[in-house]
Chains A and B, each alone.
Chain A
Amino acid sequence: MLYLGVQVEVETEEAGEEVASLPFFSLTRRKDNIILGVIEIKDLTEWRSIESSIESIPGVVSVTILSSVSGE
């Protein structure tokens, strides 16, 4: 399992709320237009589909992995 520290930049309040309440986005913290949180994935192919699903939310500017921790 990979635990990714992910940053999502948003440009609207609505997008911010939607991103922060994504069920698989845990320990979310908010600072202005950035939402920080952790996503648990099995491998990078899983990440690609998650990344595009977050990017498809209207108002999302960018999705960036800031850190990663691996463990079983």
Chain B
Amino acid sequence: MRCDRREFLKWSALLSAASVVGLDLEVPSAFSAEAPDKWVKSVCRYCGAGCGLYIGVKGDKVVAVKGDDKNWNRGFLCVKGSYLPKILYASDRLKYPMVKEKGQWKRISWDEAMNLMVSKFAEANKKYGPHAVGFYGSGQSFSEESYLANKLFKGALGTNNIDGNPRLCMASAAVGYVTSFGKDEPMGSYDDIYHADCFFIIGSNMSEAHPVIFRLVMEQKKKRNVKIIVADPRKTLTARNADLYLDFIPGTDLFILNAMAHVIIKEKLYNKDFIDKHVVFKKATPDGKIEKVSFEDYVKFIEEYTPELAERMSGCPKEKIIQAARWFATSKATMSFWCMGINQRTRGVWANNLIHNLHLITGQICRPGATPFSLTGQPNACGGIRDMGLLSHLLPYGRLVANEKDREEMEKFWGLPKGRIHPKPGPTAVELFTKFANGEIKCLWVVCTNPGQSLPNLEKYRKGMAREDTFLVVSEAYFPTRTSELADLVLPAALWCEKDGTYGQSERRYQYLPQVVKPIGEAKSDFEAILTFARKLLTALGRAEEAKKLFPYKTTEDVWNEMRACSKDTVYNFWGMTRQRLIKEHGMLWPVPDEKYPAPGTLRRYTAKYGDPLVKKYDPKATDISFYGNPADGNRAIVWLRPAVGLAEPADKDYPFVLTTGRLIEHWHTGTMTMKVPELMRAAPSAFVEMHPDDAKKLGVKTGDKVRLISRRGSIVLPVKVVPIPRPGVVFVPFHYPDKLINTLVTDAFDALSKQPEFKISAVRIEKA
């Protein structure tokens, strides 16, 4: 209770009144609209937009949230974020560790759980070597937690059997940025929305998946004469707000993107000066070699991608493609947004490159409003997994496992003997679970994610996780989930503001989330669990001294300071983001090279004129723009000659429909949190398949009828929702529902460069059920 004078006077009045009517003041009011005791600055638990908010605390309970009006979201939250308090107090919160014995779950203590886990992992390590164990992390864990896991597995144990769920959503975008610019992550920020005149949104339903960012775009539409282009095989809520809507057969966007480039070249809308100064052209030969080519070679290559060809291949009218290209090139500043429609593809990296190409040949980049902006799905895929390098081929802050110099640098930084870090990149998500399924990996720890619902071609990997002779540990806040039901040991995890740490969202904004309430029951933060496990495991392996040296930390701040130091000599440099600064500010955008560097940090990278402090350091001769992430090509960005190729599993006569999966606004990912909120459940209670009226007519079904979807991997029965949203020939199913595992139907073919699976396009046939 706040004890200022005003509160005191109010309570005096109430007490007097209560004594007259004999009212017991301990009885809580179900209707009370009174204020929390305090509001604590924090961040939303859900998507990669990373909205700032304040958490309202009353006593030891979270009772409310309100948007942070001083953060980029200006006080707004979406329907999911609005109900965050309810997720903490769901009745199925996991309160204590449990082990599965003879098919039954038995409650055990943390000590017992840790000792069991340590003995299993140590035994596997001793018997079969360092690569017999693995870790599957999450873009929802705090950066400090992921850092501990990364240091333990890659550094202490010397295995790269550690990957994370951003492999399933952001890998193509990450490799897209790296191949086009040398280093990962967008160069722009949400601030560019206020300056762009043209928005190009492709493979993204922003209105439902990133509502608060979309709100900013729509605000600009109301205020200024901006143009919105949306390209999507579904006429989503986002598409309905477009000035120009491009509808196309799924997978043919590569033709459209190349055709847009064709128009830009043909109609001389490209920026030759920019190209001459800042761009090189490259292509990959069929046998995998990289060749540098000329602008003229690019012009020749792009010649075959006429709008006519694109129309023939995609079904999108060529006039629209031409219009899109003209608007893109000629607007004062063009900003692109894309998400899973582009990333979750077997040619996801190429699709990303083609978007970057459009920005590079027109010079629509590195100035306010002009930027290619990849939307991130999870709250900390950027900060904790991509930037901090948890993925199996990465080391922290832009370093690579395969690069000898980078390995030596990290070995020195971590105080490891030379050669400790394994030189071969480890298995990626699908490969990791394949190795676990075939028994190559004996022990796997899954933290803060739900692969038992989210992996593609699900049945195969669920069977693998259920194997009797392997050991699966799952750290989760709820029980059961579709993953923990397959586990041998479950650990109760602290959720959201029950622990503290850092999140880094889509626009390179790192934000601190403080601990606001105690974890429920015996739940502990994953930070504490990983730290305890690391120390005990190394001790069990006879390396107690090493445990003390590598894991001396007491608080998350200790780890954060080590991370800051690790970033110092890289393009990520956030040395200036001390914990105190993050507590004070409303997040900061890296690079922030020193403590004096003013908030909010760096809004635009690779441009000295618009405030990137690292241009001076890495490319002192540059006058403004420098893609210093790519010194090998003279600090230039790369335009890739990428042919438009087909899909892993296009529709054919046996499976004539394209199944695409995706999100609804009410739920987030596998629904473990949002499905605890009655309002959200009421709004979106169950799975369905969205079908175009023409297809419904042919099949003889109407809304509410049940149909069976069958793919080469599995089948599922769902009620139909007949709406003119998906293209004819395309059906859409949300992936949120644990009782309708749509991913059992989805292909696990993945991109050769990013290893990201093609969730977006599988072939199905549909029958009345």
Q: Do chains A and B touch in the complex (CB under 8 A)?
A: yes
Residues of chain A within 8 A of B21, CB atoms compared? 7, 31, 34, 36, 66
B16 engages A67 (CB within 8 Å): yes
Bound CA span A40–B33, Å: 15
B34 engages A31 (CB within 8 Å): no
- Interface centre among A7, A25, A38, by most chain B C-beta atoms within 10 angstroms, is A38
Shortest CB-to-CB span from A22 to chain B, Å, is: 8
Residues of chain A within 8 A of B9, CB atoms compared? 1, 3, 69, 71
Report B5-61 residues with CB < 8 Å from chain A CB. 5-6, 9-18, 20-21, 23, 25, 27, 29-35
Would you call A30 an interface residue if the criterion is a C-beta within 8 Å of the partner chain's C-beta atoms?
yes
- Interface centre among A3, A21, A28, A68, by most chain B C-beta atoms within 10 angstroms, is A3
Report B544-603 residues with CB < 8 Å from chain A CB. none
Shortest CB-to-CB span from A18 to chain B, Å, is: 9
Which chain A residue has the least Cβ–Cβ distance from B26?
Answer: A29
Known: A36-B21, A38-B10, A40-B10. A28 touches B33 (CB 8 A): yes
Shortest CB-to-CB span from A67 to chain B, Å, is: 3
Which chain B residue has the least Cβ–Cβ distance from A66?
Answer: B17
Bound CA span A69–B18, Å: 14
B12 engages A69 (CB within 8 Å): yes
Bound CA span A69–B8, Å: 10
Interface size class, chain B: 20 to 34
Please pick, from A21, A29, A40, the residue contacting B18 in the complex, using a CB distance under 8 A. Answer: A29
The total of Cβ contacts below 8 Å across the A-B interface reads: 88
Mark each residue of chain A from 12 to 33: 1 if its CB lies under 8 Å from any CB of chain B, else 0: 0000110011110111111100
B10 engages A29 (CB within 8 Å): no
Residues of chain B within 8 A of A26, CB atoms compared? 10, 33-35
A16 engages B31 (CB within 8 Å): yes
Residues of chain B within 8 A of A20, CB atoms compared? 29, 31-33
Please pick, from B16, B30, B34, the residue contacting A69 in the complex, using a CB distance under 8 A. Answer: B16
- Interface centre among B10, B17, B29, B35, by most chain A C-beta atoms within 10 angstroms, is B17
Bound CA span A3–B13, Å: 6
Residues of chain A within 8 A of B25, CB atoms compared? 29
Residues of chain B within 8 A of A22, CB atoms compared? 33
A27 engages B10 (CB within 8 Å): yes
B14 engages A36 (CB within 8 Å): yes
- Interface centre among A17, A27, A35, by most chain B C-beta atoms within 10 angstroms, is A27
Please pick, from B13, B27, B30, the residue contacting A38 in the complex, using a CB distance under 8 A. Answer: B13
A67 engages B29 (CB within 8 Å): no
Bound CA span A7–B14, Å: 10
Bound CA span A20–B13, Å: 17
Report A44-69 residues with CB < 8 Å from chain B CB. 66-69
Residues of chain A within 8 A of B35, CB atoms compared? 26
Residues of chain A within 8 A of B14, CB atoms compared? 5, 27, 29, 36-38, 67
Shortest CB-to-CB span from B34 to chain A, Å, is: 5
Residues of chain B within 8 A of A34, CB atoms compared? 21, 23
Bound CA span A16–B30, Å: 11
Residues of chain B within 8 A of A7, CB atoms compared? 17, 20-21
Bound CA span A64–B212, Å: 45
Residues of chain B within 8 A of A5, CB atoms compared? 13-18, 20
B16 engages A66 (CB within 8 Å): yes
Residues of chain A within 8 A of B31, CB atoms compared? 16-17, 20-21, 28, 30, 35
Bound CA span A7–B21, Å: 9
Residues of chain A within 8 A of B12, CB atoms compared? 3, 69
Residues of chain B within 8 A of A66, CB atoms compared? 16-17, 20-21
Residues of chain A within 8 A of B33, CB atoms compared? 20-23, 25-26, 28
Residues of chain B within 8 A of A35, CB atoms compared? 31
Shortest CB-to-CB span from A36 to chain B, Å, is: 6
Bound CA span A31–B34, Å: 17
Bound CA span A38–B9, Å: 10
Which chain A residue has the least Cβ–Cβ distance from B31?
Answer: A20
- Interface centre among A6, A16, A34, A71, by most chain B C-beta atoms within 10 angstroms, is A71
Which chain A residue has the least Cβ–Cβ distance from B35?
Answer: A26
Residues of chain B within 8 A of A31, CB atoms compared? 21, 23, 27
Residues of chain A within 8 A of B30, CB atoms compared? 30
- Interface centre among B6, B9, B27, by most chain A C-beta atoms within 10 angstroms, is B9
Residues of chain A within 8 A of B15, CB atoms compared? 5
Residues of chain A within 8 A of B18, CB atoms compared? 5, 29, 36
Bound CA span A8–B754, Å: 65
Residues of chain B within 8 A of A3, CB atoms compared? 9-10, 12-13
Shortest CB-to-CB span from B9 to chain A, Å, is: 4
Please pick, from A6, A17, A71, the residue contacting B17 in the complex, using a CB distance under 8 A. Answer: A6
Residues of chain B within 8 A of A6, CB atoms compared? 17
Bound CA span A37–B23, Å: 11
Residues of chain B within 8 A of A29, CB atoms compared? 14, 18, 23, 25, 27, 29, 32
Residues of chain A within 8 A of B13, CB atoms compared? 3-5, 38, 67-69
Shortest CB-to-CB span from A19 to chain B, Å, is: 9
Residues of chain A within 8 A of B11, CB atoms compared? 27, 38
Give me the interface of B with A, judged by CB distance under 8 Å.
5-6, 9-18, 20-21, 23, 25, 27, 29-35
What 5 pairs across the A-B complex have the smallest Cβ distances? A5-B17, A67-B16, A20-B31, A66-B17, A3-B13
19 extra interface residue pairs, beta carbon distance < 8 Å, beyond A20-B33, A31-B27:
A3-B12, A5-B18, A7-B17, A7-B21, A16-B31, A20-B32, A26-B34, A27-B11, A30-B30, A34-B23, A36-B14, A36-B21, A37-B14, A38-B11, A40-B10, A66-B16, A66-B20, A67-B14, A69-B16
Give me the interface of A with B, judged by CB distance under 8 Å.
1, 3-7, 16-17, 20-23, 25-31, 34-38, 40, 66-69, 71
Name 10 A/B residue pairs within 8 A (Cβ), A-sorted: A3-B10, A7-B21, A21-B33, A26-B33, A26-B34, A28-B29, A30-B29, A30-B31, A40-B10, A71-B5
